[in-house]
Amino acid sequence: MNQKLINTRNIGIMAHIDAGKTTTVERILYYTGINYKIGEVHEGAATMDWMEQEQERGITITSAATTTFWTTNEQNYKINIIDTPGHVDFTVEVERSLRVLDGAVAVFCAVGGVEPQSETVWYQANKYNVPRIAFVNKMDRTGADFIKVVQQIEEKLNAKPLIIQLPIGDGDEFVGVIDLIEQKAYVWDDDDSLGAKYRVEDIPEEMKDEVFKYREKLIESVIEVDDIMLERFFEDRSKISVQEFKNLLRKLVINKNYIPILCGSAFKNKGIQLLLNAICDFLPSPLDIDSIKGHHPKTDDLIERAADASAPLSAMCFKIVSNSFVGKLAYLRVYSGKIKSGEMVYNVRTGKKDRVSRIFQMHSNKQTQIDVVEAGDICAVVGLKDTITGDTLCDESKPIILDKMQFPEPVISIAVEALSQADIDKLTQALSKMAEEDPTFNLRHDENTGQTLVSGMGELHLEIIIDRLVREYGLKLNQGKPQVNYKEEFIDTINNYNYIFKKQTGGKGLFAEITVNIGPVNDRDFVGLQFVDNIKGGKLPKEYINAVEKGFKQAMSNGPIGGYPMHNMRVELVDGSYHSVDSDALAFQIAAGLCFSEVSKKLKSTILEPIMKLEIVTPDEYLGDINADLNRRRATILGMEMSGMHRVLKARVPMAEQFGYITALRTLSSGRAVFSMEFSHYERVPATILEELINNRKFIF
């Protein structure tokens, strides 16, 4: 058994914005000896928030990776940590991190509890079956309510929380935690040790009844799932050791049965050491995770690869970063096999081999060079020229393709142009690099207006992009007003539409004939082209059918009403014919595009707009004004609930009505209300808006 892998943890830290996630990571780095001093977010000195924009705003924008080490129970552990953003505009960083991690720590604010982005990242973790533990932070804050947060985790996240710690006091009275498994109290003094020193004491007398109640509940929840352990428990509970109990709980956490709940205050340096112990005790190693599954790129046969350095290589690139010192960095999770410096690796998507010139162990934006990386580890490499996010790297002789990550589409765009002729090429290069780094950032040149259009997930996302272009690349820019990324959709269906493409140019001609059914997709959640091959009897070669699909897919970039992309479309190919000399794949691809143009004129279409999910937390006295303002913005109120002394208002509102909303909300609430917003779905625009969009069309996205 590989002891090194047993004691390796690949984890992410995830949370809603302002839950104290980055502060928690900074304390971890300090107590594990990676940092000799504590970096504070509010001072712009956090190690993991290395970008200027992060330090100025006090938020995490890009996920940062680091490696640290911790010793508990006389075992040395290696912990690879990825600190992820909390702001919804940068949710892609969470998505791609969770795809390659084995476990996660979810950080919750003891006052705010489960907030909107908490739910988003939680369901992202569910999608990738990531085991996790929870840390209720900010127990030192006035209004901290540990039990309320645990209830919210159960009710709002549909999870099974398991309290393994209780706080000793709250707010200004918070001094430490009680470990329910070991029945010990851990108390921190506010001294000069910055939390490095703490006392282990007996449980305070006034808390013994509460500790007994929650400990019994903990024991019953864990023991009842194991028949052998249950029998031993009823025979003599004293015979079950602490380590046996932890081993069983660990198994339940890895199987996603329970979420252990811990608590503390990262800012006041209380509880982090016990959190590190829990990471080692309960979160999985690479060996505890199911073998990675993929497919053979040619046969589509299912392939499994265990976390074994002697197995054939399989690795995924989950992030690309342009580094001013070493060039293009590709972040990799190695699932099986190993990579040595100077070795060639095969990219399944490109069908090409690239040489890994250098391998780095990352610490935020700094690198430590290493010679080899093995199965179960995370690293960054230099030398992979054509690799992009989501690519599978493997042995050419033993190919495998891993499931790609799915990213949300941008909902907002802005036009940018360089002020000088000399900066035009520079702007193009800078935007291409940034698009390579960020899969939710789209870049397009509008041939009609001559503008360069950049698209992102929200106003903050676009603001950061523009800021980076100015600071990092020294560009002087003109920029337009943000524009909504509308889409189009067919309302009805046309069946058995026959299209013949015939062109004669003197020599070899072009010929393609197709018969199709075209209309909308019945599934509202489906995005893109739903292509159905219903050709009978092999009337068309497979390569021609593939060309038809490609042609329709390309045609969807410009809808019939205003040139917006098609949201979805169903194309059923039912018949066709070809000429033995004049037909080729290109002819069928062109035929599909021209067929789309003809059909578009005959079918009814409409425009769709992005609808955002909005959550506002406000004092009760401002609720009326905020409600009235939302009604003017075409919002649909979904409900309200109480959270402490505040109201939580949930709504859905069109993106087009939300530009500059942060300023409007501050004005309405005298700066006391806060909100979060994320993409929900696309919806048909009202008739009045549709007419306005058609008449005032300015951009093609």
pLDDT (tens digit, 9 = 90+) per residue, 446-494? 655 566 778 777 777 777 778 878 877 888 888 777 788 899 999 999 9
**Residue bearing tokens 């977010």:** 41
Query: Residue 697 — very low, low, confident or very high, per pLDDT cuts 50/70/90?
Result: low
Provide the residue count of the chain.
Answer: 701
User: Is the model more confident about 479 or about 373?
Assistant: 373
* pLDDT at position 55 over 90: no
Predicted local confidence at residue 438, as pLDDT: 74
pLDDT (tens digit, 9 = 90+) per residue, 92-142? 667 767 788 899 999 999 998 988 677 878 888 888 889 999 999 999 999
Predicted local confidence at residue 477, as pLDDT: 80
Query: Residue 229 — very low, low, confident or very high, per pLDDT cuts 50/70/90?
Result: confident
* pLDDT at position 202 over 60: yes
Predicted local confidence at residue 671, as pLDDT: 80
DSSP-assigned beta bridge partners for residue 609: 683
DSSP-assigned beta bridge partners for residue 415: 453
Predicted local confidence at residue 614, as pLDDT: 86
Read off the pLDDT of each residue in 148-172 and give the average, rounded to a whole number: 94
* pLDDT at position 258 over 50: yes
Predicted local confidence at residue 91, as pLDDT: 59
Number of helices followed by number of strands (H, E) in the chain? 17, 38
DSSP-assigned beta bridge partners for residue 382: 329, 358
- Kindly calculate the radius of gyration of the chain based on its CA atoms and give it in whole angstroms: 28
Walk across the sheet containing 165-168 and list its strands. Answer: 165-168, 176-179, 184-187, 199-201
pLDDT (tens digit, 9 = 90+) per residue, 303-343? 999 999 999 999 988 887 776 666 778 888 999 999 999 99
* pLDDT at position 302 over 80: yes
* pLDDT at position 371 over 50: yes
481 vs 484: CA distance, rounded Å:
10
pLDDT (tens digit, 9 = 90+) per residue, 396-448? 999 999 887 666 677 777 888 888 877 888 888 888 877 777 777 777 766 55
Q: Which amino acid is at 43?
A: E
DSSP letters for 470-488:
HHTT---EEE---EE--EE
* pLDDT at position 51 over 70: no
Predicted local confidence at residue 274, as pLDDT: 97
Predicted local confidence at residue 209, as pLDDT: 95
Predicted local confidence at residue 40, as pLDDT: 46
Burial category of 119 from C-beta neighbours within 10 Å (exposed 0-12, middle 13-18, buried 19 and up): middle
For the stretch 58-61, contacts whose Cβ atoms lie closer than 8 Å and that sit 24 or more positions apart, written own/partner, are: 59/17, 59/85, 59/86, 59/87, 60/21, 60/22, 60/84, 60/85, 60/86, 60/87, 60/90, 61/85, 61/87, 61/90, 61/93, 61/464
* pLDDT at position 384 over 80: yes
Instruction: Yes or no: say if 492 and 603 are a contact pair by the CB < 8 Å rule.
Output: yes
User: Is the model more confident about 367 or about 517?
Assistant: 517
DSSP letters for 381-429:
EE--SS--TT-EEEBTTB--EEPPP--PPP-EEEEEEESSTHHHHHHHH
Read off the pLDDT of each residue in 633-649 and give the average, rounded to a whole number: 85
What residues have CB less than 8 Å from 185, skipping those under 6 apart?
Answer: 168, 176, 177, 178, 179, 200, 201, 202, 203, 204
* pLDDT at position 90 over 50: yes
Angle at 479 between CA 474 and CA 482, to 5 degrees: 130
Predicted local confidence at residue 252, as pLDDT: 94
Predicted local confidence at residue 86, as pLDDT: 46
* pLDDT at position 168 over 90: yes
Give percent above pLDDT 70 in the chain. Answer: 88
Q: How far is CA 349 from the centre of its chain?
A: 22
Read off the pLDDT of each residue in 213-220 and give the average, rounded to a whole number: 93
Average pLDDT, the chain: 85
Predicted local confidence at residue 397, as pLDDT: 93
Coil, helix or strand at residue 317: strand
521 vs 501: CA distance, rounded Å:
26
* pLDDT at position 272 over 90: yes
Predicted local confidence at residue 2, as pLDDT: 61
Map 218-249 to HEC letters.
HHHHHHCCCHHHHHHHHHCHHHCCHHHHHHHH
Predicted local confidence at residue 323, as pLDDT: 65
0.75 surpassed by pTM? no
118 vs 21: CA distance, rounded Å:
12
